[in-house]
């Protein structure tokens, strides 16, 4: 069992520094004279314990902060921007403020979340490690998690929103198989330098591969995985190497529209005619899909449904409503939008 994170109090600082909580308050507020040695000991204790004075929390005096943290993988993503827009409509109506930030896998990030006194946390990050997700859940802050991968190992009370990616990936695979594609690749998202991709539990990958297995297409002759690419150049080089090895790519499923488009243009540069020589499908149905040449087929995710569900269930959690397990697990569906590329 992971130990629960607890907010560091002034009493904790006082105990370590060997002073009274009142002295700690004087040092924090800098509104009374404090002996230099005591002040030094207080600052050392604050640094060692990770204590962060919070002016908002002092002003609230037990009330709600009306702040919600939204953790995502990519701040520039059209996908998360559209979800945030939907949630922001609720926030404005209910006098809340949504703070958007990129995920970080470190203890200090978790500590900052807890010390900032957010009323709730919404997590839409596939790169946020399970151990850190568990730490956020263990803080007892209401948590809503977008279920983009298998999170069955998580414990505690939290809400899950499943957008239907697993079944959507199956639909995309079926589309490629129906087009009689025999040499299919799955293109994973880009990763930061020095990191290894963790695609196995990802619903897009697992749904796609499970459908390949069901049709006896998950083998060296029929399928390849393109992963651990840091940028467009890495992806292009891996596709070229695969083609040079004799694997005649005729089907592409990209984890996102962006990597699908990069793969499509890499093939076009090798004189492939899309979709005659190869069918290409992405995920997210981003705005750019209508402006590629050819226009990209893509799996559409119900972003409005995600945004509405996230704020609705979080609102119910704020009210301390008695929620059943099924209330905390929300299922949505996707839709494959067929365009010119497939």
pLDDT tens string 118-176: 889 999 998 888 999 998 888 888 999 999 999 999 998 899 999 999 999 999 999 99
Residue 4 in domain = no
**pLDDT at residue 232 greater than cutoff 60:** yes
Return mean pLDDT, the chain.
88
pLDDT band of 53, cuts 50, 70, 90: low
Q: Tell me if 136 sits within 8 A of 110, measured CB to CB.
A: yes
At 78 the pLDDT is: 85
Residues 192 and 262 in one domain: yes
Residue 342 in domain = no
Residue 338 in domain = no
Residues 130 and 209 in one domain: no
At 2 the pLDDT is: 43
DSSP states along 24-68: HHHHHHT-S---HHHHHHHHHHHHHHT----HHHHHHTTS---EE
Question: In which domain, by residue range, is 23 found?
Answer: 10-53
Q: How far apart are CA 114 and CA 333, in angstroms?
A: 33
**pLDDT at residue 104 greater than cutoff 60:** yes
Residues 227 and 310 in one domain: no
At 6 the pLDDT is: 56
Residue 1 in domain = no
| Domain CATH code at residue 104 | 3.40.50.2300
| Domain CATH code at residue 46 | 1.10.260.40
Residue 83 in domain = yes
- Residue keyed to tokens 């709600």: 64
Residue 340 in domain = no
At 4 the pLDDT is: 46
**This prediction's pTM:** 0.80
Residues 110 and 191 in one domain: no
Residues 225 and 286 in one domain: yes
Q: How far apart are CA 233 and CA 110, in angstroms?
A: 34
Residues 80 and 19 in one domain: no
Of 80 and 59, which is predicted with more confidence?
80
pLDDT tens string 294-303: 999 999 999 9
Residue 58 in domain = no
Residue 114 in domain = yes
**pLDDT at residue 188 greater than cutoff 90:** yes
Q: How far apart are CA 10 and CA 26, in angstroms?
A: 11
Residues 136 and 228 in one domain: no
**pLDDT at residue 113 greater than cutoff 90:** no
**pLDDT at residue 55 greater than cutoff 50:** no
Q: Tell me if 143 sits within 8 A of 161, measured CB to CB.
A: no
pLDDT tens string 276-335: 999 999 999 999 899 999 999 999 999 999 999 999 999 988 887 788 888 899 999 999
The dihedral of CA 306, 309, 314, 317: what is its sign?
negative
Residues 180 and 148 in one domain: no
Enter the tokens of residue 237: 């080089």
Rounded to an integer, the average pLDDT of 196-204 is 83
Number of domains into which the chain is organized? 3
- Residue keyed to tokens 């919070």: 54
At 119 the pLDDT is: 87
Residues 73 and 137 in one domain: yes
């Amino acid at each position: 069992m992971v130990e629960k994170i607890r907010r560091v109090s002034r009493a904790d600082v006082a105990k370590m520094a060997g002073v009274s909580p009142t002295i700690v308050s004087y040092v924090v507020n800098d509104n009374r004279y404090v002996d230099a040695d005591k002040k030094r000991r207080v600052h050392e204790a604050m640094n060692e314990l990770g204590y962060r004075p919070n002016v908002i929390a002092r002003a609230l005096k037990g009330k709600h902060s009306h702040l919600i943290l939204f953790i995502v993988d990519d701040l520039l993503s059209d996908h998360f921007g559209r979800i945030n827009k939907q949630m922001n409509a609720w926030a404005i109506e209910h006098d809340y403020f949504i703070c958007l930030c990129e995920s970080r896998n470190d203890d200090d990030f978790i500590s900052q979340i807890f010390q900032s006194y957010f009323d709730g946390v919404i997590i839409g990050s596939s790169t946020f490690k399970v151990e850190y997700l568990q730490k956020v859940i263990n803080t007892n802050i209401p948590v809503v998690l977008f279920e983009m991968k298998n999170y069955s190992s998580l414990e505690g009370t939290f809400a899950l929103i499943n957008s239907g990616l697993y079944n959507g990936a199956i639909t995309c695979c079926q589309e490629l198989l129906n087009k009689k594609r025999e040499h299919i690749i799955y293109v994973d998202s880009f990763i930061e330098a020095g990191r290894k991709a963790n695609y196995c539990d990802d619903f897009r990958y697992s749904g796609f591969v499970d459908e390949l297995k069901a049709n006896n297409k998950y083998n060296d002759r029929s399928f390849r995985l393109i992963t651990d690419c840091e940028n467009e150049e890495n992806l292009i080089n891996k596709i070229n190497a695969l083609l040079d090895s004799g694997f005649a790519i005729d089907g592409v499923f990209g984890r996102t529209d962006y990597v699908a488009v990069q793969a499509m243009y890499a093939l076009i540069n090798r004189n492939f005619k899309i979709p005659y020589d190869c069918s290409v499908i992405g995920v997210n149905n981003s705005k750019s899909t209508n402006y590629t040449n050819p226009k990209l087929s893509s799996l559409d995710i119900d972003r409005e449904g995600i945004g509405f569900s996230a704020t609705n269930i979080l609102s119910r959690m704020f009210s301390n409503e008695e929620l059943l397990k099924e209330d905390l697990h929300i299922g949505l569906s996707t839709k494959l939008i067929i365009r010119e590329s497939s």
